[in-house]
A and B are shown apart, each in its own frame.
Chain A
Amino acid sequence: MSFTAVFFFVAIVGLTLVITWWASKRTSSASDFYTAGGGLTGWQNGMAIAGDYLSAASFLGIAGSIALFGFDGFFFSIGYLVAYLVVLYIVAEPLRNLGRFTLADMITARFDKAKVRGTAALSTITIVLFYMIAQLVGAGALIQLLLGIEYWMAVLLVGVMMTIYVLFGGMTATSWVQIIKAALLMLGTVIISFLVLAKFDFSIAQMFTQMTTETEHGAAYLNPGLRYTDGIDTISMLMALVLGTAGLPHILMRFFTVKDAQTARSSVIWATWIVGLFYVLTIFLGFGAAAFVGADKIIEANPAGNMAAPLLAQALGGDILFSFVCAVAFATILAVVAGLVLSGASALSHDIYGQIIKKGKVTEKEAVKAARIGSIIISVVSILLALGAQTLNVAFLVSLAFCIAASANLPVIIYTIYWKRFNTSGAVTAMLTGLISALILVAVSPNVWNPVEGKAIFVGEPLIMLTNPALISVPLGFLGGFIGTLISKERNDLKYREVEVKAQTGISVQDISH
């Protein structure tokens, strides 16, 4: 490990710790802890959403995937971006208008039942843990590679850092870690893309032409079909991406950190531009890596292609750019896992402990204490699981998290806001059907079963061929909610009127002038 690398890592760790120290002095209430007091501006929250969202899988995974598979690698970029429209058009504003800290807050705006809250918390914690294990295992492997330390040390390093941010600085510190990370990530990506484009004489047409001969795939490199050969599976995966984002707990939580629907809107616009520009640039990262590093060297460093972007940085900018990009990747992981800890802790401490066990009768001091204890529990559990999951191929955990979010959370969000007849029984069955069907379908999928030893967790024939079951489990989630609603006689039109008025107009007690 070089001096430059150490310098960049120490700078990032130092900077984030200073922010945490500063934020800790501003974190005294539960609202400060979970939502930074609702005081973020549009661009700040937009940057933070981007920072929360552009995970190592986006930065390292997509660049590697494009480098190795051409257009098929770019599919993810498209799905992740268009997903923002679902968030903006369907979810963001009603959520902001109805919620306080969590998804469960929003659903219980209509159904005041511990069962609903408990089920929502369960699906949130499941998604958070799956997503987190994937992030931490990826982080462990990456930092092991970059710093040359043992896997368990790498996981502990990331785990301890994320716990510190959340524990002391709450959402304020977490948001600023995400903002800084988003800025660094964009800077790094723009620099590398510029250098790549320069190598192609600043001509995109020339770049594409040259790419038809740079890889072993020839002209097929520029067309789909190199990686995803099963059409139905590709459709299912893209469906999970576009619908899952709107149900991801850590993304939903980011809409409580702004003061009103207007700011929520402006933050999604910011996020859409930043995330969109980033995903456009993944083409340059991927093509550049394929042309100037080469598939053999990329696979040699990491079979999944995760080292493509850092190796490209090294090829174009030497040790300094390599060290910088590695440090950015590290910051990326820190920002994402900190956001995940917070959303898991909010479900555990606010929903399960505060609202269900204590029935909302907690003082401000107790609520903050519970939030901190919840963060520690989520951190410790995920670190332990990540330490045990080292040898697991975890790529599917991310797609599973998206699939559960799309199948369990999205139907209940949509029904809560738009369907008058929806009731408690429907809310619980929607979430449980989506959650359980996604889990079972993945458990019998090719991710878990493969006839060839070492290709999956177990040896054997998978029962379904879909690697991502969204195509089946999302309709099941909607159907479950529909049937669950109809088998119960309960309906409360009056309560729906209130939810409808609040969601549509954002009206609150403060808006009434007298």
Chain B
Amino acid sequence: MGNNQKPIIDYERIASQQSFRQLAKKKNSFLWSVTAIFLVLYMLLPILTSFTEILHQKAIGDITWVWLYSAGLFVMTWGLAHFYVARANKYDAEAKAIIAEYEGGRKL
């Protein structure tokens, strides 16, 4: 385009692209299912400590299970943080392809 005007983005059009719908669906189901998993694992800790004695037992020496469960939540947090970034980088590439597809389509 020869002029300096900023292009107006046709969001409706991008949103209705099959590729975009697929990405949105994939991304949302990934984000929400992982979120559900870590929230359940996290909330399970106070539920177990408040209503059962399972985690009060000794695991390694005098270290009780509740510390190991907590350590697990720390490891989970670090792990899932990196897992997210790896996934998000993949989605970035797909988002770029979607924009390219939209631009290509606009030229026609």
Contact = CB atoms under 8 A, between A and B. Distances in A.
A152 to B, nearest CB: 39
B43 A235 contact: yes
Interface in A77-93: 78-79, 81-82, 84-86, 88-90, 93
A512 interface: yes
A273 interface: yes
Contacts of B49: 224-225, 234
Nearest to A212: B62
A266 interface: yes
Contact of A509 (B9, B35, B56): B9
Nearest to A71: B66
A209 B58 CA distance: 11
A270 B12 CA distance: 36
A205 B20 contact: no
User: Which of A85, A235, A261: most chain B Cβ within 10 A?
Assistant: A85
Interface in B37-52: 38-39, 42-43, 45-47, 49-51
Contact of A239 (B1, B43, B74, B78): B43
Contact of B84 (A75, A208, A265): A265
A262 B84 CA distance: 11
A232 B51 CA distance: 10
Contacts of A442: none
A90 B46 contact: no
Interface stretch (A7-15, A190-198, A492-500): A492-500
Given A82-B73, A276-B74, A514-B1, A93 B88 contact: yes
A23 interface: no
B62 A238 contact: no
B56 to A, nearest CB: 5
Interface in A24-41: none
Contact of A208 (B55, B61, B88): B61
Contacts of B74: 78, 81, 276, 279-280
Contacts of A212: 62
A205 B15 contact: no
Contact of B103 (A238, A504, A513): A513
B81 A504 contact: no
Interface in A214-272: 219, 222-225, 228, 230-232, 234-235, 238-239, 242, 261-262, 265-266, 268-269, 272
A453 interface: no
Q: Tell me if B's interface is mostly helix, strand, loop or mixed.
A: helix
A261 B87 CA distance: 13
Given A88-B81, A504-B23, A505-B98, A497 B56 contact: no
A168 interface: no
Nearest to B82: A269
User: Which of A204, A276, A505: most chain B Cβ within 10 A?
Assistant: A505
A301 interface: no
Contacts of A507: 9, 14, 95, 99
A513 B99 CA distance: 10
A86 B98 CA distance: 27
Nearest to A510: B6
Contact of B35 (A86, A223, A224, A273): A86
For chain B, which range describes its interface: under 10, 10 to 19, 20 to 34, or 35 or more residues? 35 or more
Nearest to B45: A78
A84 B81 contact: yes
A435 to B, nearest CB: 23
A223 B43 contact: no
Given A222-B63, A507-B9, A269 B46 contact: no
Contacts of A514: 1, 7, 103
A90 B35 contact: yes
Contact of B56 (A81, A223, A506): A223
B39 A242 contact: yes
Interface in A45-59: none
Given A208-B61, A224-B66, A234-B46, A78 B88 contact: no
A504 B11 CA distance: 12
A82 B38 contact: yes
A497 B15 contact: yes
User: Which of A230, A512, A514: most chain B Cβ within 10 A?
Assistant: A512
A205 B9 CA distance: 61
Contacts of B9: 501, 507, 509, 512
B20 A501 contact: yes
Given A222-B62, A235-B46, A500-B24, A272 B73 contact: no
Contact of B28 (A74, A232, A418): A418
Contacts of B14: 497, 501, 505, 507
A78 B44 CA distance: 12
Nearest to A262: B92
Contacts of B16: 497
Nearest to A241: B42
B12 A497 contact: yes
A291 B23 CA distance: 54
22 contacts: A78-B42, A81-B73, A82-B73, A85-B35, A85-B38, A89-B31, A205-B61, A205-B62, A209-B61, A222-B67, A223-B66, A232-B50, A239-B43, A261-B92, A262-B89, A279-B74, A494-B11, A500-B24, A507-B95, A511-B99, A512-B9, A512-B103
Pairs of residues from A and B, 9 with the lowest C-beta to C-beta distance, nearest first: A231-B50, A497-B15, A498-B11, A505-B95, A224-B49, A205-B61, A209-B62, A272-B81, A208-B62
Given A90-B35, A208-B63, 8 more contacts: A81-B77, A82-B77, A88-B84, A204-B63, A242-B43, A498-B12, A504-B95, A512-B103
